[in-house]
Structure formats: C-alpha cells, structure tokens
Amino acid sequence: MEQADHEEIARALREHPAKKGVAFNIVVTVLEIGGGIGLFHLAKGAGASDVAAYLTGSIAPLLGALVVWARSRKFSGASAAIFVFVALSAAVAVVGRTDPKVLLYKDCATTALVGLVFGLSCVLMPRPVIFYFAQRYGTDGSREGMDAFDKMWLAYPGFRRGMYQISFIWASIFLVQAGGTALIVASISFSTAYNWNQVLPIIAFVAAMALTVVISRRGQRAGRRAAAAGDGQDRSA
C-alpha cells in the first residue's frame, strides 16, 4: 500500500470521526429501539392483537436503516444486518405458536442465532459482521468515513485481528442477552417483558460497542504506526 493511501485513510478519519456522528447515531438508535417500543404500544392502544403489535414494532429498525442510507447513499453492512435481524424476528414470529410470550421466547432464540452468526461470520464470510457495525459507529456515518474503514481492512493486519477479537465478544454478549431475556419473560407479564426485550439489547449493545471502540482505536493506532514506519523506510531509501 502506498504512503499516499495511508495518508488518505488518516485524513478521512480526521475529517469524519465518530464524535461528529454521535448525535446522528443516537437519533437513529432511538428511532430503531424507542420507535419499536412506541409503535408496539400505539398498536396495542389501537386494539391490535399482541402478534400484530409485535410485528408493527419491527418497522422501526427498517426506518433506521433507511435513514442511514439517506445520509451516506451507501447500504451498509450494518443496515443489512439489522434488516436481516428484523426479517428473522418477523419470520420466526409467524411460524408455529403465536402465544404472546412464545413470541418473546422466539425472539430470544433469534437473538441467540444472531450471536452465532456473529461468531460464524469470522470463518464463513470475507469480513466478520462486526466490521460493518464498527464501520457505521466508528465514523460519522458519511460515505467518506465508511470508505476509510474499507481501506483500513485491506491495509492493517492489526485492525483485522481486532475485528475478529471483538466478533467473538459480541457473539458471547448476544448469547448471554438471549438467556437473560428468556429468564425475564418467564417471570413477568407480556407487556413488561416486551419492554425489557427492547431495552436489554441497548444494554448489550452499549457494552459491546464500548469494547468495539477500544479495540478499533487500538487497530487504528497500530495502522498509524505502520504508516509512520513505512514513511521512515521510504525516506531512508
């Protein structure tokens, strides 16, 4: 990789840091999670069945994905993953029994499946799923910022190792979340359990993202050191 490419990556990261996209990502996350809870209760208040209200709440994450696309004009892997998760949830919800709590147990099973996907993506996909979430939340969400992550993946082995490490952490967190949610569903009412089913993913997400940011920044620092070392070698030559 040429020194100019390293400099372009560094420039893109400086001009499109995650802190510039904090407000945007907060709004999108509130839309995806808070909107789901709101739509669920609005549907219930309008007389919808538990099943219909559950599926209505699933619309919010899709709206969040559209907002991300409108900003970057790039259908990111993170948006695709959210879309797949919602599609899986909806599909599982309408298959088999549709008792209210059974829907939430099915959601727990889907969450566990997503955790397995995060882990298996490390060996079955060119890039682990976590890379695409780091790409979305590790930049300001612009096309230029997301493109910088694509280049970092190709250029920096340390960055790639970090993505694989955090993928296994995310997989573990999702599996723990699924088990914890199942225990909650078994002990409280459906409506309250639904709320917890929306809130617990936020808690799990925050914990996973905190680790993602730490490891991503470590990879970025390693990349900058590699770029600086390459620049020194070029000058000595």
The string of DSSP codes covering 1-31 is --HHHHHHHHHHHHHSBGGGGHHHHHHHHII
For residue 161, the Cα-to-chain-centroid distance in whole angstroms is: 18
pLDDT at res. 155: 80
pLDDT in tens, 72-87: 666 556 666 666 666 6
Domain that holds residue 217: 3-236
Mean pLDDT, the chain, as a whole number?
A: 77
pLDDT at residue 94, rounded to an integer: 66
Residues 93-122: what's their mean pLDDT? 81
Buried b (16+ CB within 10 A) or exposed e, 97-124: eeebbbbbbbbbebbbbbbebbbebbee
The residue that leads in pLDDT, 184 or 15, is 184
Q: Quick one: pLDDT band at residue 175, thresholds 50, 70, 90?
A: very high
Please state which of the ranges 11-25, 98-112, 222-236 shows the lowest mean pLDDT.
222-236
Count the domains in the chain.
1
Tens digit of each residue's pLDDT (9 = 90 or more) over 33-61: 788 778 888 888 888 877 787 778 778 77
pTM for this model (two decimals): 0.64
Give the model's pLDDT for residue 117. 84
Work out the average pLDDT over 160-174. 89
Residue 1: predicted pLDDT: 55
* Pair 144, 11: CB distance under 8 Å: no
